[in-house]
Structure 1
């Protein structure tokens, strides 16, 4: 997955424990769901945490939805579900890794 390094220069809010935004474990860092997108701390600033690639999660048989047991976070025009340390989103009849 190739992340985009897009600094969120005007981000005045400091995310952290009890900041009010969903914290999503993502590899070696934590993303925070904020206003429909994901932020991560990086070298003293906040980045938009988005992938530039389309990555299908081919072996995903679990169907996410209301009451599936996984946290749902708003991401743009859809919901991502936090599952096993990454986010899944429904896309054209399959699940993508975000």
Structure 2
């Protein structure tokens, strides 16, 4: 039972870290520019930035879900460790 809980905890933490690194990589490509017109290909840049923002928003939703699972499994693992300490001490 403990090995299974530790495995789920490790997988959830790894998935959370991977998603956070991916989101950070996406936000590195995002720029803080204001596109005022359609001249000189700025429409292409505007579409590219809109796509990056859409992807970041989608990944952020997954980050919240996986982060919640990681937090819950962390609490469960801490509970198991405390339970083991209490039972071996007494």
**What is the TM-score normalised by the length of structure 2?**
0.20
Larger radius of gyration: 2
Which of structures 1 and 2 has the larger relative contact order (alpha carbons within 8 angstroms, sep 6+)? 2
Which one has the bigger strand percentage?
A: 1
